[in-house]
Amino acid sequence: MSQEYFKSPKKKGKLAVFLSGRGSNFIAIHDAILEGKINAEIALVFSDKTDAPGLKIAQQRKLDTLSLNPKDFNSKQEYEQEIIKELKNRKIDLICLAGYMRILSPHFCRQFTNAILNIHPALLPAFPGLNVQRKALEWGVRYSGATVHFVTPDVDMGPIVLQAVVPVKQDDTEETLSQRILKEEHKIYPEAIKLYFEGRLEIRNRLVYIK
């Protein structure tokens, strides 16, 4: 889905953060913005879950929030169409998936080519999908980590922007490994967004180059 050549824009970006849960990555991104580390503003925090803890935090932080329940729509297509409308109304430059538990359709991805990022708690292309910390433990890998990547219709397979590596310890549980990875997620996700709006990300033939 990525075009052959893409250069990220150098501008003050308008972000939409999508989340379904606790929102610790959203908080890391917002904190980095408040500290002046990223040239962007969060113009929308969107959730598919009205009771997502991350959404509550966004409200407390006085950010514009929106939650839409897919069950209130006749189809996924209608649901996504409504989200797309809200995003276009706000002139969103970049969507950051941060624990958003729904798969975006190819149509949705095409509306925002090279303008959707995701954070994944493994070293892609190893362990795509769900419960990946558990899978890492089951495989006995010595290292795992986190990946920020562009979102394309191929789930978890878009161009890789940044990765961080963490060791897997012999006495790790899913919880301890997740925590070690999460600490790195909170560093590389804001960093990737910063690079994006510094106009420093280029995609050529699906590889990301950092200028």
Contacting positions for ligand GRF (CB under 6 A)? 19, 21-25, 54, 98-99, 119-121, 182, 185
Q: Which is nearer to ligand GRF, 53 or 199 (CB)?
A: 53
* 27-to-5, 12, 72, 185, 206 alpha-carbon distances in Å: 31, 19, 28, 11, 29
In the complex, least distance from residue 120 CB atom to ligand GRF, rounded to whole angstroms: 6
Q: Which is nearer to ligand GRF, 7 or 141 (CB)?
A: 141
Q: How many Å apart are CA 91 and CA 16, to the nearest integer?
A: 10
Q: Which is nearer to ligand GRF, 3 or 179 (CB)?
A: 179
In the complex, least distance from residue 204 CB atom to ligand GRF, rounded to whole angstroms: 26
Question: Is the sign of the CA dihedral 28, 19, 81, 108 positive or negative?
Answer: positive
> Residues with catalytic annotation?
120
In the complex, least distance from residue 79 CB atom to ligand GRF, rounded to whole angstroms: 20
In the complex, least distance from residue 98 CB atom to ligand GRF, rounded to whole angstroms: 5
CB 32 within 8 A of CB 96: no
Q: How many Å apart are CA 50 and CA 66, to the nearest integer?
A: 8
Residue with smallest beta-carbon separation from ligand GRF: 99
Q: Which is nearer to ligand GRF, 55 or 201 (CB)?
A: 55
The residues, any chain, with a CB within 8 Å of residue 123's CB and separated by 6 or more, are 143, 144, 145, 146, 147, 163, 165
Q: How many Å apart are CA 4 and CA 141, to the nearest integer?
A: 34
Q: Name the DSSP letter for residue 198.
A: B
- Among 17, 55, 23, 13, smallest CA distance to 186 is for 23
